[in-house]
Structure 1
């Protein structure tokens, strides 16, 4: 694979990861409501949320691996572990590292959800509300396409989607439906 292709795929996977994280955030709020979507039954909203979250993790992993081997990016392995230590725009790159760390915590606790218990899992899962704006800030601050019209349009659409979901979540119309205790273990 040529250096240009690595750079292009690295950027593209980051953009796709951001879009999927946005969709995951919106679906997460919808899942919490316990209501069916107009086109999906209630259980399917949860499954789509899980699958979109997993897919966003895959694209983020691809983003990291591709940029690790990209000669333009010149990232080092510890740039993905130690926030704010990078050579290129260290603050914005560090936000990406923080977002990666938070996503890893979410994935690990989701995989261990039945062993950790619902209360612990939920406490860690609240970090998703911090993950999304951190990832968006990383994309806007580090991305070479961050001020191009197509990316700004995409970023605005992502912000509107998440803001709409959060406004609904905080509104009086958001009535959280509790899952019966006997069904919580199956979820």
Structure 2
């Protein structure tokens, strides 16, 4: 039996998966720099951090691309890539767009880290957490599954984990 997925299912799946990967990337990134991971575990966490981040970026782009083909809520390229221009839930849509741009900036800054210096790269990299929170806000406000108990639990648990690891990271920060 052949399964055919609708545009809406691809949009949902890619958005939720992109959020999950961004969550994993943020968590792993904070664990690498904190005293949360062992010396042996740090290279593994760094690899998870980078891979999950790249996949989150790619799936976010796919998520936006699929919105161009949705027949229920239509988006134009302008609405997708210029914040606050969407006619459908402009604030929630913009949170996703801004999260995407921050992720792009993070990856670009990592590629040019030697040119801009570690201090600037590190300052830019602190935007990873706001990108995560913007993606969370985007999903909660505009996601079609946001009212489902499984999604409420998913968002709540990932949020609590990020906040917890962030505070552990603050407490264990190396001078």
CA contact (8 A) 2:34 2:173 kept: yes
In structure 2, C-alpha distance between the alignment counterparts of 1:114 and 1:73, rounded to whole Å: 43
Q: TM-score, length-normalised on structure 2?
A: 0.90
Shift of the 37–151 alpha-carbon distance from structure 1 to 2, 3 Å rule, reads farther
Number of aligned residue pairs: give it: 172
Q: Which string of whole-angstrom CA distances, capped at 9 and with x for unpartnered residues, describes residues 126-179 of structure 1?
A: 1112111111011111111111111111101111110111120122xx143x8x
In structure 1, C-alpha distance between the alignment counterparts of 2:45 and 2:31, rounded to whole Å: 7
Match of 2:87 in 1: 87
Q: TM-score, length-normalised on structure 1?
A: 0.84
Match of 1:32 in 2: 33
Match of 2:137 in 1: 137
Match of 1:100 in 2: 100
CA contact (8 A) 1:23 1:52 kept: yes
Match of 2:170 in 1: 170
In structure 2, C-alpha distance between the alignment counterparts of 1:25 and 1:67, rounded to whole Å: 25
Q: Which runs of 5+ in 1 are unaligned?
A: 179-187
CA contact (8 A) 1:146 1:152 kept: yes
Asked if 1:21 is matched to 2:58, the reply is no
Task: Give the C-alpha shift of residue 117 in structure 1.
Answer: 1.6
Instruction: Report 1:148-187 matches (<5 A).
Output: 148-171=148-171, 174-176=172-174
